[in-house]
Amino acid sequence: MSASPTAEQYLELLLGPKGPASVFASEEARRQAWLAHAAELTPLVDAGSRPWAWWQYEAPEPLLPRESELAYLIRCGLLTPEERKKFVGAAVSG
């Protein structure tokens, strides 16, 4: 995907499809849009979380039953340095 995603496409990458149909022409188009725009979309979600498309295209394994996103990211060693300071540092000093 060479052009920037539309607002609806950005939302789908962040939150997932609104209904059974995607706003992208194909699954591959959505994956390519995610790969091209992940760096600008990831900071738009809360620390300790990831956009919907990250879970679809980059998560190394599924969440365990009843596992929070934060617990998953800690378990898999996927926290950013800023998230590590915020969550792991708080747990150690608290």
Query: Mean pLDDT across the stretch 39-51?
Result: 96
Strand (E) or helix (H) holding 28: helix 27-41
**Helix 27-41 vs helix 7-15: crossing angle, to nearest 10:** 80
Q: Give residue 69's Cα distance to chain centre.
A: 10
Report which DSSP code applies to 89. Answer: H
Phi/psi of residue 78, each to 5°? Answer: -110, 10
What integer pLDDT is reported at residue 90 of this predicted model? 62
What integer pLDDT is reported at residue 23 of this predicted model? 97
What integer pLDDT is reported at residue 88 of this predicted model? 79
pTM: 0.88
Residue 11 has pLDDT above 60, yes or no: yes
